[in-house]
Structure 1
């Protein structure tokens, strides 16, 4: 049995304490190593209109807790609008995506079991300005699809359309 060794993590105090992934800011608050593989937690900030491609995880369940702002979350054929203090449950093997509807949104992603945080870490880049949000950059879709597949996640459709 693996013993978890919790580590305190501050969140969201300075942009350079995190990483940029696609057009968002992220900071891993706990990972497989600090939870004995039980879960990972990532703090995120995204700008209005950000939406990842429609995708499906095969190894983990995810919950998204909105801390500030507004998200529309698509889970299968269902759409749920989530504001601050609301949570969306994204079970494995169910296609999902979301869209930031407010000017910005801050949300926490909880992944169980841990491991998928490595997809985000490996695909992220250094923060190079004093802003939480990077300049929008084009996505290399074939590379993203291949990287997701390495983590048993299938990208099956486009991002949600802007509101």
Structure 2
């Protein structure tokens, strides 16, 4: 049985919310502002072959590169990165950007392994979770 606190009413910043067995995961994260004249990219250019992702910006601005097109997504706006389409995202501003990421459980597992001290072949890790680095 799913506990009610797995579904709603929990602080989201810095964590993920998904009931056990759910295929859908919510996470609220912050992208630090850039310190130079370049976008502070949060991920390498990659493709999810079977999963979509979506970003909803709470504050600041995110820049997404989706299939070679760049989109600035300001607070109060959202964007979807469809499966099978190369994409990456970052912060084009000096100010931090807070956003909600809607992802699959597979993408969550990839990120947890990647950020949990992984030190192997990153391309192979992406492939393990149905993605390709570009």
Q: Which residue of 2 aligns with 1:151?
A: 129
TM-superposed deviation, 1:53:
0.7
- TM-score under structure 2 length normalisation: 0.80
Q: Which runs of 4+ in 1 moved over 4 A?
A: 3-6
Alpha-carbon distance in structure 1 between the residues aligned to 2:71 and 2:97: 15
Does residue 111 of the first structure (1) align with residue 114 of the second (2)? no
Alpha-carbon distance in structure 2 between the residues aligned to 1:80 and 1:146: 29
Q: Judging changes above 3 Å, is the alpha-carbon distance between structure 1 residues 155 and 28 closer, same or farther for their aligned structure 2 residues? A: same
The one of 27, 45, 48 aligned to 1:42: 27
Q: Which residue of 1 aligns with 2:12?
A: 11
The one of 43, 48, 52 aligned to 1:57: 48
Q: Which residue of 1 aligns with 2:36?
A: none
Q: Judging changes above 3 Å, is the alpha-carbon distance between structure 1 residues 40 and 93 closer, same or farther for their aligned structure 2 residues? A: same
Which 5+ residue runs of structure 1 have no aligned equivalent?
Answer: 13-17, 19-26, 127-139, 157-163
TM-superposed deviation, 1:47:
1.1
Q: Which residue of 2 aligns with 1:136?
A: none
Does residue 97 of the first structure (1) align with residue 97 of the second (2)? no
Q: Which residue of 1 aligns with 2:16?
A: 28
Q: Judging changes above 3 Å, is the alpha-carbon distance between structure 1 residues 79 and 4 closer, same or farther for their aligned structure 2 residues? A: farther
Q: Which residue of 2 aligns with 1:68?
A: 59
Name the SS of the counterpart of 1:116 in structure 2: helix
TM-superposed deviation, 1:36:
3.8
State the superposition RMSD in angstroms: 2.4
Does structure 2 retain, via aligned residues, the 8 Å contact 1:40–1:115? Answer: no
- TM-score under structure 1 length normalisation: 0.67
Does structure 2 retain, via aligned residues, the 8 Å contact 1:61–1:92? Answer: yes
